[in-house]
A = this chain, B = another copy of it.
């Protein structure tokens, strides 16, 4: 069986914030970033989101295979053919994806979910969009990671005229 590839897909500000607060939707990100996200979702076998992110992104994700990370279930709870709730503390997510033949996995956040993958050593790729804006304070991409991880830059692209930038990194 092929190993799953976990790609973290995030949009951040110049000062590294993915949101102003936990319930802040990405209404500040550019059309070009949203287009890129949809393209990436189209190429992914499943999307993984945390519970908060799922609640704000339920509609755009409704037609896709989705894993929701939550502590509200003991291990896992199948909600529909395309939707499963999983407690990542009690489930081996890499094994779960392998068993379900999920090869390309889009991890969409939020911060807790991103942190989980970093701390579990499961980040294979990062697609980071940087919008030309600064929040001054807010939620970081990672905030409770306990190790330094090196990556290599695969590509670098300017997405629009105002200067939204897309960085693609691969785990070194």
Contact = CB atoms under 8 A, between A and B. Distances in A.
Interface of A: 12, 14-17, 20, 28, 115, 118-119, 123, 126, 128, 130, 132-137, 140-154, 156, 158, 162-165, 167, 169, 172
Each complex incorporates copies of this chain amounting to: 2
Contacts of A132: 150-153, 169, 172
28 contacts: A14-B126, A14-B167, A15-B141, A16-B16, A17-B140, A28-B148, A123-B134, A130-B167, A132-B150, A132-B151, A133-B148, A133-B150, A133-B151, A134-B141, A134-B148, A134-B151, A135-B142, A135-B145, A136-B142, A136-B148, A137-B146, A140-B140, A152-B163, A153-B158, A154-B163, A156-B156, A156-B158, A163-B169
Nearest to A147: B136
